[in-house]
Chain A
Amino acid sequence: GAGVSQSPSNKVTEKGKDVELRCDPISGHTALYWYRQRLGQGLEFLIYFQGNSAPDKSGLPSDRFSAERTGESVSTLTIQRTQQEDSAVYLCASSLSKVSPSGTFFGQGTRLTVV
C-alpha cells in the first residue's frame, strides 16, 4: 500500500484478555517500529525490527508485551492479560533503513481501550 496500515483502528477489550494489533509497513521498508502514546503523554518507544536482525525489545514495558515480524513484512504486537494502564494509541512506523528518523512514516495508530 501507499502508507503504513494498522488494524484495527479501534479496539475495546476487557481487562485480562489478550489482544493482537497488526501493522503493514510500506513495501520495501526494512525497519519497523512500535510506539505507544498514552493519554497526555508523548510517544514511547516499544520495539524495533531491522530486516532479519534480532529486534530491539528494550522499550517493551513488561513480559505481557511481545511482537513478531516475519522478514520485511507484517508485524503483530500482542498484549497478554491486558490491564487498564495498557489503554493507549499504539503506533507503528516504518523506514527504508535505520539511518532515517526523518524518513520514518507512521500509521494512523490503533486506539486500545481496556475496560
Chain B
Amino acid sequence: DQQVKQNSPSLSVQEGRISILNCDYTNSMFDYFLWYKKYPAEGPTFLISISSIKDKNEDGRFTVFLNKSAKHLSLHIVPSQPGDSAVYFCAASAGAGSYQLTFGKGTKLSVIP
C-alpha cells in the first residue's frame, strides 16, 4: 500500500516555463513533507520542505504548496532551467522530528532548452 504517490513518472517542460510536480498521500499522520532532487548516479539531495501548519513555502525558484484537506502537495519550479532536469521525490514523515521518511516513486523532470 503506497502511502505517498507520485502518479506522473515523467514530465517535460520548456526552459523558462513553470514545472509542476504533484504528490498525494494517504496517511493522515503525516505532517511534514519534503522534496528531494536526484541526479543520475548521485544520492538524493534535499530541496525544500513544508510543515502541515503552513500551506506554502517558498525558496527562490522553488515553491511547495500543501492542501491538507485534499492530502495533496505540489512543487512549482519557476522559471525552469535545464539544470533542473532530474528525478524529484516527494517524501513525508509523521513530525519534523521523525527520522523515518516515506518516499514516492519519483517524477523524472526534463527541461528542454
Residues on B with beta carbons closer than 8 Å to the beta carbon of A35 = 103
Query: Which listed residue (B4, B6, B44, B98) contacts A106, Cβ 8 A?
Result: B44
Residues on B with beta carbons closer than 8 Å to the beta carbon of A56 = 99-100
A40 at the interface (CB under 8 A from B): yes
A43 at the interface (CB under 8 A from B): yes
Inter-chain contact B105/A103, CB cutoff 8 Å: no
Inter-chain contact B4/A102, CB cutoff 8 Å: no
CB distance from B67 to the nearest CB of A (A): 21
Residues on B with beta carbons closer than 8 Å to the beta carbon of A41 = 105
With A45-B100, A99-B96, A101-B99 already in contact, the answer to whether A106 and B105 are too (CB < 8 A) is no
Residues on B with beta carbons closer than 8 Å to the beta carbon of A101 = 32, 34, 46, 49, 91, 93, 96, 98-99, 101
CB distance from A32 to the nearest CB of B (A): 10
Residues on A with beta carbons closer than 8 Å to the beta carbon of B1 = none
In the complex, which residues 62-93 of chain B have their Cβ closer than 8 Å to any Cβ of chain A?
Answer: 89, 91, 93
A33 at the interface (CB under 8 A from B): yes
CB distance from A112 to the nearest CB of B (A): 15
Question: A103 — nearest CB in chain B belongs to which residue?
Answer: B46
A109 at the interface (CB under 8 A from B): yes
Query: Which listed residue (A42, A107, A108) contacts B104, Cβ 8 A?
Result: A42
CA distance A44 to B105 in the complex (A): 10
Question: B4 — nearest CB in chain A belongs to which residue?
Answer: A42
CB distance from B53 to the nearest CB of A (A): 15
Between A and B, 10 residue pairs with Cβ closer than 8 Å are A31-B99, A41-B105, A42-B4, A42-B102, A44-B103, A45-B102, A95-B99, A101-B96, A101-B98, A105-B46
